[in-house]
């Protein structure tokens, strides 16, 4: 029955038998047959078949909770076995949310002498909720996530707290300003972060307090996406300065914001799981890199 449950999980995660078959490298009929067999053995209807699609029933959703817990535990064991098998080679596995994982972490890794330390790094760029789950399950050594996810059950420490910066194309009218004010944002097409983003919530509260509104044209979860859209002239956005760092030498204009809207991130660890010397050293490297990047951003805006 283990194989049928594995196939059931793949269908739930991918949303279709064809994508589940591709994920598991088996045929689509084999997926359908396994689902039917699991339903027969359990005496339950796990999927409703509507216009050729499988829609999960309430029973399937409830079962998925237990199945996921089992597979997360198995994946943690597999991760540990892989780590132990790398004799003579240190291994460090990190999960980070996109604001830090996409561009900042690669810079920090580049400054961390992997060859001299004889270490291998595995970097997973995930949503903050997935980072939390990975650390909780013991699948990574530590994680970096946004502060909007409560770190319940985990040890944590502040990592990033930085004031948001305003980004725009070089030919945008606001590019002539040395500093951008809330009223400026109310008069131009705005590129917003997702409503659940704590920084966007801060900005929304500020604008409401001032009796202003944001003319949102595009909404996205990622500061990186906003930077690129702003560079191409789609509007103006307020973003994480660590993400904007990578655009300092492009034609994206970066300006300070007159009001404080913070972007914050946490470093999280699993309780009772000792950190390796490599992990502690890399954490120090991350903080050094963060300080270096923030100084560079302040200097860049001061020269503008």
Q: What confidence score (pLDDT) does residue 38 get?
A: 86
Choose the weakest-confidence range: 3-7, 201-205, 209-213, 289-293.
3-7
What are the backbone dihedrals phi and psi of residue 240, each rounded to the nearest 5 degrees, phi first?
Answer: -65, 125
Q: Mean pLDDT for the chain?
A: 90
Q: Is 59 helix (H, G, I), strand (E, B) or coil?
A: helix
Q: What confidence score (pLDDT) does residue 229 get?
A: 98
82 pLDDT exceeds 70?
Answer: no
pLDDT band at 87 (very low <50, low <70, confident <90, very high): very low
15 pLDDT exceeds 60?
Answer: yes
pTM over 0.85: no
148 pLDDT exceeds 60?
Answer: yes
**CA atoms of 132 and 137, how far apart (whole Å):** 9
pLDDT band at 81 (very low <50, low <70, confident <90, very high): low
pLDDT band at 77 (very low <50, low <70, confident <90, very high): low
208 Cβ neighbours under 8 A, 6+ residues apart: none
Both tokens of 60, joined, read 């399937």
The residue among 53 and 106 whose pLDDT is bigger is: 106
Q: Measured in Å, how far apart are the chain's first and last C-alpha atoms?
A: 64
Q: What confidence score (pLDDT) does residue 238 get?
A: 99
% of the chain surpassing 70 pLDDT: 94
181 pLDDT exceeds 80?
Answer: yes
259 pLDDT exceeds 50?
Answer: yes
Which whole number is the average pLDDT over 229-254? 97
- Structure letter (DSSP) for residue 257: B
- 119-125/90-96 β-pairing: parallel
Q: What confidence score (pLDDT) does residue 88 get?
A: 44
- Structure letter (DSSP) for residue 231: H
Q: What confidence score (pLDDT) does residue 251 get?
A: 95
Question: Residue for token digits 């237990």?
Answer: 66
> Domains of the chain (ranges plus CATH)?
2-67 (1.10.10.10), 72-159+264-303 (3.40.190.10), 162-263 (3.40.190.10)
What are the backbone dihedrals phi and psi of residue 281, each rounded to the nearest 5 degrees, phi first?
Answer: -65, -40
pLDDT digits over 214-223, tens only? 999 999 999 9
Contact 170, 249 (CB under 8 A): no
Q: What confidence score (pLDDT) does residue 237 get?
A: 98
The residue among 31 and 290 whose pLDDT is bigger is: 290
Q: What confidence score (pLDDT) does residue 285 get?
A: 95
pLDDT digits over 106-138, tens only? 999 999 977 777 788 999 999 999 999 999 999
Q: Mark out the alpha helices in 15-57 (DSSP H runs).
A: 17-24, 28-42
Q: What confidence score (pLDDT) does residue 199 get?
A: 97
pLDDT band at 89 (very low <50, low <70, confident <90, very high): low
């Amino acid at each position: 029955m283990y194989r049928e449950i594995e196939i059931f999980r793949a269908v739930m995660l991918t949303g279709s038998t064809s994508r589940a078959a591709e994920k598991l490298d088996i045929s689509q009929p084999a997926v359908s047959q396994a689902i039917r067999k699991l339903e027969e053995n359990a005496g339950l209807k796990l999927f409703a078949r509507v216009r050729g699609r499988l829609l999960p029933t309430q029973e399937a959703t409830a079962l998925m909770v237990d199945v996921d817990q089992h597979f997360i535990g198995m994946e943690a064991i597999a991760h540990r076995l892989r780590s132990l098998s790398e004799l003579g080679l240190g291994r460090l596995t990190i999960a980070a949310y996109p604001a830090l994982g996409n561009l900042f972490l690669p810079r920090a890794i580049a400054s961390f002498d992997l060859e001299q330390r004889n270490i291998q790094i595995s970097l997973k760029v995930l949503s903050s909720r997935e980072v939390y789950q990975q650390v909780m399950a013991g699948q990574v050594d530590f994680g970096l996530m946004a502060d909007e996810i409560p770190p319940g059950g985990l040890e944590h420490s502040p990592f990033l707290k930085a004031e948001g910066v305003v980004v725009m194309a070089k030919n945008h009218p606001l590019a002539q300003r040395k500093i951008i004010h809330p009223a400026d944002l109310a008069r131009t097409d705005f590129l917003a972060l997702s409503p659940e983003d704590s920084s966007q919530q801060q900005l929304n509260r500020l604008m409401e307090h001032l009796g202003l509104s944001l003319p949102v044209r595009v909404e996205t979860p990622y500061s990186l996406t906003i930077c690129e859209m702003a560079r191409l002239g789609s509007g103006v956005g307020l973003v994480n300065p660590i993400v904007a760092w990578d655009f300092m030498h492009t034609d994206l204009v970066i300006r300070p914001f007159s009001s404080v809207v913070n972007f914050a991130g946490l470093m999280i660890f699993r309780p009772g799981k000792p950190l390796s010397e490599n992990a502690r050293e890399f954490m120090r490297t991350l903080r050094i890199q963060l300080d270096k990047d923030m100084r560079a951003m302040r200097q860049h805006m001061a020269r503008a």
